[in-house]
Structure 1
Amino acid sequence: MEKRQLIIGLLALLTTMFLGACGGNEQSDPNDDTNTETKSHENMEMNEEDSNTHSSQEEMNHSGSSDVPEGLEEAESPTYTVGSQAIINAEHMSGMNGAEATISGAFDTTVYTVTYTPTTGGEPVEDHKWVIHEEIENAGDEPFQPGDEVVLNAEHMEGMDGATAVIDTAEQTTVYMVDYTDTETGEKVMYHKWVTESELSPVE
């Protein structure tokens, strides 16, 4: 009788120890699939955040140089004088439309929209705004006409300088170089080229 009770007691003790060990393993199994899936999901979220940040940084700086092409003539009596303010009504890039701009240059010229294939490769860029007459290779006194094929001497975008382009539209007008603060990022944009007079309105 005593032997039987002793055996039963030992079995109960072993069972308790076994169950305790199993419970401990469930808490921190490094090979557990659930943990792996959770970590993978977290990594994906971090990678997406990094990617979004990288994209934003790439689009952040739209500033240019204060240099203008040779032969470009300053406007004699522009609607918006250098140093004055105006509201931009254009969406050439994000954060531009509705921004208050300071005029940093005003010039009389022929302005074009163009379609070109970047020298760096990729799909054609259609109806790019704007390229001025003085930014086209071998530009003479007469303006180009829609359908004319030209070579661009401008660096507004990567792969633009030296690219072959087709003139989409042509207009004689006053173009402006402007400084403004990006409405989305808060970054200061200096010497943006170009904004036409019809894309500006007075500050109220």
Structure 2
Amino acid sequence: MKRTTTLTGLALTAALALTACGGTAEDPDASTSASATSTGTASAAASPSSTGSASEGMNGGGMHHHPDGGPPPAGIEPAAGPAYPVGTTVTLTADHMPGMQGAEATITGAFDTTAYSVTYTPTTGGEPVVDHRWVVHEELQDPAEPPLESGTQVVLEAEHMAGMQGAEATIESSTDETVYMVDLTMDGIQMTNHQWVVDSEIQPAR
């Protein structure tokens, strides 16, 4: 009986310790922070938030994408002759969020611009979002001529996730590939006009 009681007590202690690491009701995002392996593969599974948004993994620090991405930013130019025209069904190879890689999507917009990977600290507080992909040049506040160099400090006007708009960010990298908005269903969540994926993150539908 003594051995049984000791093991039960240890199990209860371990459960309480795990609960303490999972965040609180006042900080729901603290429990959704995703970790990545040394090969850059996200190890956390996506789950819907209480508002039906999608959790972003290794490039999002546990933040939540709005399920409706809304219209493209003002001033962005439609792409002439994109590899994947509007209406095309494709397979995503991007792994911005758990559940995205391998998902079937429909192209809802194709644009000619510069896209940036950025690191920023949300205006709502919390840990920095590292290597978020992507924001486009038209979603930066008063930017210089594109492309901006790595290390450039910018202010974001994008509203992909809570705490993004108005945040100070650092450019990590850039690409001049065609950028796309897509509709997809990911882990049971319908994402409309998700922004953004680029040519190298798309392949023809399987």
Q: Normalising to structure 1: TM-score of the pair? A: 0.70
1:188 to 174, 190, 194: 190
Q: Secondary structure at the match of 2:48?
A: helix
Moved more, 193-202 or 117-126: 117-126
C-alpha displacement at 1:96, in angstroms?
1.1
Which structure 1 residue ranges, 4+ long, deviate > 3 Å from structure 2?
54-57
After TM superposition, list the pairs within 5 Å mapping 1:12-161 onto structure 2: 56-58=47-49, 60-62=52-54, 63-161=67-165
Q: Secondary structure at the match of 2:87?
A: coil
Q: Secondary structure at the match of 1:90?
A: coil
Larger Rg belongs to: 1
Identity %: 48
1:79-101: CA deviation from partner (whole Å, max 9, x where unpaired): 00000111000111122111110
C-alpha displacement at 1:139, in angstroms?
2.2
CA RMSD, Structure 1 to Structure 2 (Å): 2.7
Moved more, 54-63 or 105-114: 54-63
Is the helix fraction higher in 1 or 2?
1
State the distance in 2 between where 1:69 and 1:197 align.
19
State the distance in 2 between where 1:85 and 1:130 align.
21
1:177 to 181, 190, 193: 181
Unaligned runs of 5+ in 2: 1-7, 26-30, 33-46, 55-66
Q: Which residue does 2:44 correspond to in 1?
A: none
1:16-66: CA deviation from partner (whole Å, max 9, x where unpaired): xxxxxxxxxxxxxxxxxxxxx9xxx9xx9xx99xx9xx9733184242233
1:109-142: CA deviation from partner (whole Å, max 9, x where unpaired): 1010001111111111111110110000002443
State the distance in 1 between where 2:123 and 2:97 align.
21
State the distance in 1 between where 2:179 and 2:166 align.
22
Unaligned runs of 5+ in 1: 1-36
